[in-house]
Amino acid sequence: AEEALRQSQKMEAVGQLTGGIAHDFNNMLAVVIGSLDLLGRRLGASDARAKRYVDAATDGAQRAATLTQRLLAFSRQQPLTPEVVDANKLVPGMSELLRHSLGAEIRLETVLAAGLWRTHADRNQLESAILNLAVNARDAMPEGGRLTIETQNMHFDERYVAANFGVPHGQYVLIAVSDTGSGMPPDVIAKAFDPFFTTKQVGKGTGLGLSQVYGFVKQSGGHIKIYSELGQGTTIKIYLPRFLGEDAEAELPTAADLPLGD
């Protein structure tokens, strides 16, 4: 719990800092991009070499603008608009997008639990969290592999809570994203949720993906956990609270429905 508090305080501080900087940068980059555009038009076809310099500068400035916009989106503590979500419908609804993002070398598998509980979460944010995890998985499987998305009902009962410090008691919808990729060494696991922590090349990774996913899950009242084995692959488990609506009484689970946590 202390670790979670530290993490969220760090996220907040970094968010405020980057938000201010990104906002100013965005405005300055707009001036740069606009001026380059005007310059490019003036040059016309007369000076091909100068035109190439302008194009290169525009390209760089545009990539910088994309990054600052991502930073802005990250720092803005966007209010979540939670709704009742059936992950067993949401995940298949993303398969087109996922296949496109994963490419031909990675096989996509979904394992959907029968009778899955509904959860209460921001649908768009949940989709972008799953996409973030899938893109990380893809990057960990440059030679191809398998991405599995699994849903499950999870009930953390007293026994489980006692054995797993920090996990509160309750009912959750589990969404697990697994890959058969490189895996993560312990020092990377320890820092993976930190904003700006990345092991990827400059320009390839921002280090904001997992911290965004972490922020969303925590804000939604859920949990997130990384299981990884070097050379074997990685599983990231997201637990979102079960939606207990007006009809909750009618569908209270029986003991047989309640698997122990993992």
The contact set with ligand ADP (CB under 6 A) reads 136-137, 140, 179, 181-182, 184, 188, 192, 197-200, 205-211, 234
Nearer to ligand ADP, 174 or 184 (CB): 184
Nearer to ligand ADP, 181 or 222 (CB): 181
CA nearest neighbour of 136 among 80, 49, 210, 27 = 210
Q: Closest approach of Cβ 71 to ligand ADP, in Å?
A: 12
Q: Produce one character per residue of 113-122: b if its CB has 16 or more CB atoms within 10 Å, e if not.
A: beebbbbbbb
Nearer to ligand ADP, 160 or 197 (CB): 197
Q: Are strands 223-229 and 170-179 parallel, antiparallel or unpaired?
A: unpaired
Tokens of 144: 């191809």
Q: Closest approach of Cβ 235 to ligand ADP, in Å?
A: 9
Nearer to ligand ADP, 151 or 182 (CB): 182
Q: Closest approach of Cβ 137 to ligand ADP, in Å?
A: 4
Q: How many CB atoms lie within 10 A of CB 92?
A: 13
Nearer to ligand ADP, 170 or 205 (CB): 205
Q: Please, which residues have CB within 8 angstroms of residue 165's CB and are 6 or more apart in sequence?
A: none
- Residue 193 to residues 65, 83, 144, 189: CA-CA distances in angstroms? 24, 25, 25, 8
> What are phi and psi for residue 150, nearest 5 degrees?
-125, 140
Q: Closest approach of Cβ 179 to ligand ADP, in Å?
A: 5
Closest-by-Cβ residue to ligand ADP is 209
Q: Closest approach of Cβ 161 to ligand ADP, in Å?
A: 27
